[in-house]
Amino acid sequence: MTEKHSNRSEALRYIGNLYAPEDSALTAIRTHFEQAGMAIQIGPEEGRLLQLLIKMNAVKTIVEIGTLGGYSTLWMARALPEDGRIITLDRNPDHAAFAKQSLAHDKRVTVLQGMADELLPTLEQNAPYDMLFIDADKISYPSYLDWAEKNIKENGLIVADNTLLFNQVYKKLPEGDVAPTTHANMREFNQRLANTSKYDAVMLPTGEGLSIAIKKST
């Protein structure tokens, strides 16, 4: 089961067109993947929301897990100050190469190709970071949250896409292509973010479910 932003509702398209018009660079990245049958990146209105979160929290450093072509990366990079930095990870060499090329003009962006479980430990030397954005393999969300708990600063942001798990997360048992382990892991991820002693969090009912959390100080 894949995410389908071509199915974005009329309301979302209205919001996107009004508040989040794309320039040619964003359109080029989005259409590259849509033409390949992979309309799986965030929508423009979600890109705009990420920008607002970055600005509201004065975020300067971001780690992104799941680059795809760098669509969300470009939205986020543009909200950073000149000396801000976003490090984005993708395991797919073709996707990482495309993103590197697309984002080469922005010195705030670093694209790393490889497995997140191998790359994330190498980022720990520069921790803590102000924000983590997760839009990657769903089964690994709890382990990415483990990393965030150690490497995102207090009062930092954790944002995650697809946390409705294709409208399966609230069902007792998953249907379709969602594996039981993935289902269990996403439920664990959401339950952990709902723990108010550790996070202030909510999930927005975007088509895919977008979780937004602030890591509380301990």
Give the count of alpha carbons within 13 A of 215, CB side only.
20
Q: Is the dihedral of CA 178, 188, 57, 153 positive or negative?
A: negative
Smallest gap, in angstroms, from Cβ of residue 218 to Mg ion? 29
* Identity of the residue, 104 or 202, whose beta carbon is nearer to Mg ion in the bound complex: 202
Residues 6+ apart with CB under 8 A from 87: 62, 63, 64, 110, 112, 123
Smallest gap, in angstroms, from Cβ of residue 158 to Mg ion? 15
Residues 138-177 that bind Mg ion (CB under 5 A): 161-162
Closest residue by Cα to residue 63 from 100, 19, 108, 33 = 108
User: Environment class of residue 57 by beta-carbon count within 10 Å: exposed (0-12), middle (13-18) or buried (19+)?
Assistant: middle
66 and 95 Cβ atoms separated by less than 8 Å: no
Site string for Mg ion, 72-111 (x = CB under 5 A): ----------------------------------------
* Identity of the residue, 116 or 125, whose beta carbon is nearer to Mg ion in the bound complex: 116
* Identity of the residue, 152 or 210, whose beta carbon is nearer to Mg ion in the bound complex: 210
Q: Which stretch binds Mg ion (CB under 5 A): 20-28, 128-136, 143-151, 173-181?
A: 128-136
Considering only 15, 75, 135, 158, the residue that binds Mg ion (CB under 5 A) is: 135
d(CA 57, CA 209): 21
Smallest gap, in angstroms, from Cβ of residue 34 to Mg ion? 14
Smallest gap, in angstroms, from Cβ of residue 3 to Mg ion? 5
Q: What angle do CA 29, 68, 74 make, to 5 degrees?
A: 55
Task: Tell whether residue 130 is a contact of Mg ion (CB under 5 A).
Answer: no
* Identity of the residue, 6 or 125, whose beta carbon is nearer to Mg ion in the bound complex: 6
d(CA 69, CA 156): 25
* Identity of the residue, 64 or 161, whose beta carbon is nearer to Mg ion in the bound complex: 161
Q: Where on the chain is the footprint of Mg ion (CB under 5 A)?
A: 135, 161-162
